Amino acid sequence: MLEIINCQIEAKTWRITLPDIDVKKGELLVITGPSGIGKSTLLHWLLGNIPQHVAIKGQIMLSGINITHLAIEQRRVGLLMQDVYLFPHLNVQDNICFALPKNPQRSSKKQRRAAAMNMLEQINLAHLGTRYPQNLSGGERSRVGLIRALANQPQVMLLDEPFAALDPRTREQMGAWAFQQLTEQNIPSVMVSHDVEDIPASAKRLCLADYYQASEQK
């Protein structure tokens, strides 16, 4: 379970004070708001990527542990971005391999690759295993991206407008499929989205504009 406590986003001329938020396992929180207000920035802060131009204060608790000051690599947080950023020098199978967590049972390369292929087979994408990211379609790329992120067994998943680049039909399919996966694996998720249609009805919403305050300070 993810908890965000006492979060405040401060810029030079404005401030956003958020209420305490919690996202339980399998739940989805959608952050909405106008462009530029800091949705992605907030998401990146959750990841551990400290933003440069605004100051964000607050506490992040993940399964009871305070991860606010931990480095990114220690947080077990997954990230899926709009440009999926599959590693171009690795094929699909190896991309997923890369994300597999260190497991003493599966330490040899062969075993890891087998596990990756397994995951691909589960979603009927095994035929993509040896392809390189440049040779995938947009939808395939998004799917592989999500599988890769899930392969890492994160404790919380962050999604930054993940389907915005896809055509409406694929977007719908991808969205449904993604949430299904996340719910099945019981992972709390935080998503940033522009498109209201993307959001499943069961999701919690947080509109940053609601908490926006222009500050008088210099």
DSSP-based three-state secondary structure for 95: helix
Distance between CA atoms of 215 and 203, rounded to whole angstroms? 31
Site for another protein in 12-51 (CB under 8 A): 47-49
DSSP-based three-state secondary structure for 122: helix
Closest to 58 (Cα-Cα) out of 78, 34, 75, 42: 42
Point out which span in 55-63, 83-91, 103-111, 115-123 binds another protein (CB under 8 A).
83-91
Residue 162 contacts residue 78 (beta carbons within 8 Å): no
Residue 91 contacts residue 130 (beta carbons within 8 Å): yes
# of chain residues touching another protein (CB under 8 A): 29
**CB-nearer residue toward another protein: 16 or 189:** 189
Point out which span in 116-124, 127-135, 180-188, 201-209 binds another protein (CB under 8 A).
127-135
Site for another protein in 157-196 (CB under 8 A): none
What does the binding site for another protein look like in residue numbers (CB under 8 A)?
47-49, 71-79, 81, 83, 85, 87-89, 98-99, 101-102, 132, 134-135, 138, 149, 152, 154
